[in-house]
């Protein structure tokens, strides 16, 4: 499955045994399949080959520069939401003119960084940001290319924490307000209106919310044309989901077919911002069992990866399939898979039926490529895990495991405490 498969009872990523990697680099670690990353990017990007488009990978979903560099070599642009992500994208070799800067809270330093870098456009999310960017651009003697991120008030039918297109969400601008903002932006000497943008949520498994959004954006674009405001780019965001358990999201070909039928007649370059659909099933978190613990009500597997390494189950109640790296066909046992963090909410799975395993054995937490390492932390002063990229029968460490000294970098004891 996605280049993670068993061979003679051992789980492999492409041609490399995960046990072999664990022996060399220790646990926990994130493992990504180069073949799956490449295949998924091509599958998405080629689905829109018949129209002018730019596929801007969502950096927030998986930000390692090795992976960004891979996508850049395949022609990808990047969707960023911070100055740090802009720095990563540029270091990975992404041309600045293929970078779209989104995000509801861009600082002055971040706006200046984007302007000086010459990015494709800023997706603006408030009237104040529009005026602020105009001032920043004026101070640099530049014109800032902009789109306004529209909040279309469409229910994405996903988890409320990753819904971004409803009026109660903090993201984007109401359609009516957006139109008046475009009229104002047209008159500002240091802004250049180039696009309309939106993003309604993440892990969407139905096409209908996307289509509803496009219908509303088309009306806006038509109204803007009546006011001599020409739109060159239509940024439809990302959000297409993947299968974690029993979800049945559309294949990118089906998604593209439906969207292209709806945008027919719009003379714009389309921008897409996929993240999860490309990297989600391309990565796995490998963790080692530390202890098995039988309680009066529950059985526990205590592993060396916790919510600091993969927060999605604790934060969203998300499901990740978990399987042993060595499959011996043993009896199933219902367990909670929990980590070492001092929080009751520190779990990777609850009430999960798994083959019985012993301390020292490895488990693979699947579909962890998106919002896995990218959301990891040092909570409980735990070093973040290594990241590994496998290509064929080779693997390389693309991020070293943090050390205890790494945890202290930048900290100091002030003189008045000495």
Q: Annotated catalytic, 342?
A: yes
Contact 74, 319 (CB under 8 A): no
Closest to 69 (Cα-Cα) out of 100, 113, 48, 38: 38
Active-site residue identified among 13, 31, 268, 342: 342
d(CA 250, CA 313): 24
Q: For the sheet containing 16-17, what is the strand order? A: 4-7, 10-13, 16-17
Q: First CA to last CA across the chain, in angstroms?
A: 57
> DSSP letters along 68-124, please?
HHHHHHTT-EEEESSHHHHHHHHHTT--GGGEEE--S---HHHHHHHHHHT-SEEEE
d(CA 282, CA 31): 8
Helix residue ranges per DSSP H, 303-374: 312-316
Give how far the C-alpha of residue 28 lies from the chain's centroid of Cα atoms, to the nearest Å.
Answer: 21
Give how far the C-alpha of residue 52 lies from the chain's centroid of Cα atoms, to the nearest Å.
Answer: 24
- The SS3 of residue 284 is strand
d(CA 280, CA 302): 25
Closest to 265 (Cα-Cα) out of 221, 228, 210, 227: 221
Residues marked active site are found at 342
């Amino acid at each position: 499955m996605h280049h993670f498969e068993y061979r003679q009872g051992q789980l492999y990523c492409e041609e490399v045994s995960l046990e072999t990697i664990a022996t060399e680099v220790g646990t926990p670690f994130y493992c990504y399949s180069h073949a799956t990353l490449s295949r998924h990017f091509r599958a998405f990007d080629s689905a829109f080959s018949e129209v002018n488009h730019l596929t801007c990978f969502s950096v927030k979903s998986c930000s390692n520069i090795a992976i960004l560099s891979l996508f850049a070599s395949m022609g990808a642009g990047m969707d960023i939401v911070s100055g740090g992500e802009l720095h990563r994208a540029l270091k990975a070799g992404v041309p600045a003119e293929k970078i779209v800067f989104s995000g509801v809270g861009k600082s002055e330093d971040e706006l200046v960084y984007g302007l000086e870098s010459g990015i494709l456009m800023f997706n603006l999310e408030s009237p104040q940001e529009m005026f602020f960017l105009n001032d920043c651009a004026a101070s640099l003697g530049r014109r800032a290319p902009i789109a306004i991120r529209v909040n279309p008030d469409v229910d994405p039918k996903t988890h409320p924490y990753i819904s971004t297109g409803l009026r109660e969400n903090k993201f984007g601008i109401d359609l009516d307000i957006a139109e008046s903002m475009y009229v104002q932006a047209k008159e500002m000497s240091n802004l250049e209106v180039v696009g309309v943008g939106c993003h309604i949520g993440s892990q969407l498994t139905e096409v209908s919310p996307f289509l509803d959004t496009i219908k509303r954006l088309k009306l806006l674009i038509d109204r803007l044309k009546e006011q001599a405001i020409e739109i060159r780019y239509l940024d439809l965001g990302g959000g297409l989901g993947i299968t974690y358990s029993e979800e049945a999201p559309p294949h990118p070909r089906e998604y593209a077919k439906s969207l292209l039928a709806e945008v027919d007649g719009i003379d714009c370059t389309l921008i897409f911002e996929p993240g999860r659909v490309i990297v989600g099933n391309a990565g796995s978190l490998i963790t080692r069992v530390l202890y098995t613990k039988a309680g009066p009500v529950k059985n526990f597997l205590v592993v060396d990866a916790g919510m600091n390494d993969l927060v999605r189950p604790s934060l969203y109640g998300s499901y990740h399939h978990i399987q042993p790296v060595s499959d011996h066909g043993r009896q199933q046992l219902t367990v909670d898979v929990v980590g070492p963090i001092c929080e009751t909410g520190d779990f990777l799975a609850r009430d999960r039926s798994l083959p019985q395993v012993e301390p020292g054995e490895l488990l693979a937490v699947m579909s962890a490529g998106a919002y896995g390492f990218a959301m990891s932390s040092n909570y409980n002063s735990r070093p973040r895990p290594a990241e590994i990229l496998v290509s064929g029968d080779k693997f390389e460490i693309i991020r070293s495991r943090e050390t205890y000294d790494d945890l202290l970098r930048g900290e100091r004891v002030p003189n008045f405490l000495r």
